[in-house]
Each structure stands twice: as C-alpha cells, then as structure tokens.
Structure 1
Amino acid sequence: MNDGYPFTLAGQSLVALGSGALWWPEQRLLCVSDLHLGKSERLARRGGAHLPPYETRDTLLRLQAEIDAFQPKSVICLGDSFDDTTAAQSLPERERIWIARLQAGRQWIWIEGNHDPGPVSLGGSHMVELPLPPLTFRHIADPAQSGEISGHYHPKASIRTRLRTVTRPCFLVDGDRVILPAFGTYTGGLQSADNALRELMREEALAVLTGKTARPMPMPR
C-alpha cells in the first residue's frame, strides 16, 4: 500500500489510494467515483468540444489496474459513472465487454448520480445509496450524516513548491465523511476552498492529493 494514505472513518480502516480510488481492506471493497464514461461522445452529441474519444478506455485501464492489484470482492461506482444515460447506451461493444470482464466474479454496485439517475443496461446492481454500517455510500454528501463516503464535487487542491503551484484531484477527509476525487479522465474539479466544500468539511479536514503517492495536507480554505 505504498501509494496510499491510511485513515479511519467511523472506526473503519480505509486507504485513500494515489489513483483516486478508496480501499476498505476489511471488506475487500474498492470504491471509485465520477467515472463519467462517454464524456467525449456526450460533448460531441450536444455540440460541444470534440475531444479525442479515448477517455473511456483510459479510465477503464486505470480502474482495471486497481482491480488487478487489490482483487476486490466488491466494487462500488459512486455515481456519475456515465456522462448521461445516452452515453451509457452508446458505449462501444469493446468497452461493454471490458466492463463485463471487470465485473466477473465480484459484486459490482452502481450508485445513482445526478448524471446517471437510474439503471443502465450493464451488469451489476443499481442503488440510490448503499448502507454498509457503520458506513454509507452515496453520490452527494448529506451534511446531516456521518460515516459517509461520497463523490460528486470532484474536489481538487493546490500545493506550492519552490518552482510552481501544483493542482491535483484530492480526497477530502474529516471525522464525519470522505469525499472522493473524480476518477474519470476527462473530469474537471472544484477547489477545496469553494464554499460548497468548506461548509461540508470540518475545520480539521485533510486534503489527500492524488498522484504517484497520496499526500495529505490541511484542506486549503
């Protein structure tokens, strides 16, 4: 677990991985958020930027690397797994087969997000949220809850070095919740200093920057 940052939430030992995935060793559970598969197709369909249509393959390749490394019993995709429902329906057969291979032999759960509100025609279970006491997995954080694992905001944070400022996707972690970074290749991010994130996270919250090594720092406010 050389690239990961271990921490506890609701008494459970978790690891924020440098890739942006979350690992729950006791449950052999891998969680990723905001894959946004099919984003280039959705942007082109709606008259937006024409991006190289390779982000789905790149995202699945990185997800496969984590699955190969940890061999999880369960995988939770924490919402906005697809850029919209049409993007899910339009996935090329190669990517559909790839997802089926990743699902084989393990429990796979799609959590509903605001971009993909409802089941898609792929394997696995589809849920609004998943309680696994003492933790609950949902797409958007509920300020009234604790022991919560969510995504949605695509948090990122910046760190200054001697030569430049580096901005990376990050986990936000405090005693109540963890908010995962977006795992998808073409996803943007919201700075941790944004009011929406400042109001959710305690003063002592950490930002755990992704990269070759997960790096914790006080959450920039």
Structure 2
Amino acid sequence: MNGTAFSFTLNGTHGLALPSGALLLPKHELLCVSDLHMAKSERMARRRGLLLPPYETRATLDRLSQDIATAKPACVVALGDSFDDLAASEALDPEDRARLLALQDGRRWVWIEGNHDAGLNAHGGEGRESLTVGGLTFRHIAEADAAPGEVSGHYHPKHGLPGFGERCPCFLLDSRRLVMPAYGTYTGGLDAREPVLRGLFGGQALAVLTGPRALAVPLPPARRLSREA
C-alpha cells in the first residue's frame, strides 16, 4: 500500500493518501473515506424519476471492503454524505445493509454528519458533527478560518494533467488542511481550480490524483471567471 500511496504530514500527524481516495493514519489505525453517497440511484428515482443502474452502493462497498481488508483499521471515519439522503439510507438494500454492518464488526465506526445526511442513521456506529484525532479535526465542510489540521470533504475535487485525459478525483493538501475526494461510485466533481475550492488553499498546495497510484502535482492558481462584455 505504501508504494502506491502519497505520504504526508499535516499538523504533526502522518497520513497516507491512498490511490482509492481513502485516507489512512497508520499510527492511529484510522481509515477515512468521504462522500460515499450510497443509495444515490434510489434517491434519483424517487425525486427525479431517473432510473440509474442500482449497483453503485455495491461497487462502493467493494472498494471499501478492499481498503479495510488491506489497512485493517481499528477505526473507520465516514466523512459525511455517506448516504444520498436519510430516506435513501432507510431504503438501503438488505444485502448492502448486512454487508455494511459486517464491515463495522470489531472496529469503531464514526459517521460524520454531512449536508445530505444530517441526523442519525440506522446502520450502526456513532454519529458526530466532527472528530479530532491526533493533530487532525475531521468535519464534512471546510471552514475558512479553521485551525491547522482540518480534514474535510463535500466538494468532490477533481484535477488532471494537460494531455492525460479526463480529470480524476483528487485530494487537495497544503500546510493547513486536506480536502478529500469523493469515494462513492455515482459522484460528480468540482474542478479543483474553481475559486470556491482553490481559495481555501495557499500558493504551495498540492493535488494528489487518485488512480493506479496516488500522484501529487502542484495545484494551479484559481480559474479566472469569465466576464460578460
């Protein structure tokens, strides 16, 4: 895992950005994933009448199962928007529900509240608005004036290299904070150079691209907003 991960230290805490989009804190035996958006196909059908193949939760759990089997964490932190909404949480397929509970067996599981799934769900674990471990504080949405060591999600950042195809989910990192990529299968993304996202970071920020290996590249300046004549 270490050979394909990107190693960094944030506010005195060592972390590994994994190629899958998960974050591992080896010293604390903690695995963090953000924006799973499980049961999104159910919510899209219920609210918009759009019929998507209902396999995204299973695909997401497949990847999460693999990361857990490899990292063997004592604690898993789901960093908000784990379900596409609370009704989607309640409508989770029984097989997926059982699998999710099995993943929690023998370890601490923390659900951080997101804007899509604020409130308690019925899938075990404990619900928190935020969680502090070592020098890091985990919350769903970044706060501009947060103390150093903030880890958040919400924005689903994406970035790519010119000439290398489409943008991919990425971590964004500087000396103060980390924004996680979306881990879920049916999740879109926001260009990491958009001012609302790029403005959270200093000039020496990195984008850590996910894929076969975690690849760190300098994060360019914010995109200029076009002006109408």
Coarse TM-score class (shorter-chain normalised): over 0.9
Q: Secondary structure at the match of 1:217?
A: strand
Question: Structure 1 stretches of 5 or more lacking a match?
Answer: none
- Separation (CA, whole Å) in 1 of partners of 2:5 and 2:112: 24
Q: Which residue of 1 aligns with 2:97?
A: 96
- 1:67-216, aligned counterparts within 5 Å? 67-145=68-146, 146-161=148-163, 164-216=164-216
> Any idea what SS the aligned residue of 2:38 has?
coil
Number of aligned residues: 219
Are positions 1:15 and 2:22 aligned together? Answer: no
Cα deviations across residues 119-163 of structure 1 (Å, max 9, x unaligned)?
Answer: 1011000001112242100000011112111000000002123xx
Q: What residue in structure 1 maps to residue 31 of structure 2? A: 30
**TM-score between the two structures when normalised by the length of structure 1:** 0.97
Aligned to 2:160, what secondary structure does the other structure show?
strand
Q: Secondary structure at the match of 2:48?
A: coil
Shift of 1:49: 2.5
Matched residue, 1:45: 46
Structure 1's consecutive aligned runs of 4 or more residues displaced over 4 angstroms after TM superposition are none
Distance 2:196 2:105 in 1: 38
Identity of aligned residues (%): 51
Is 129-138 or 20-29 further displaced after alignment? Answer: 129-138
1:2 Cα offset (Å): 1.6
Q: Which moved more, 1:64-73 or 1:42-51?
A: 42-51
Q: CA deviation at 1:48?
A: 4.2
Q: Does the Cα contact within 8 Å between 1:34 and 1:80 map onto a contact in 2?
A: yes
Cα deviation digits, residues 66-116 of structure 1 (max 9, x gap): 000010000000000000000000001101100010000000000000000
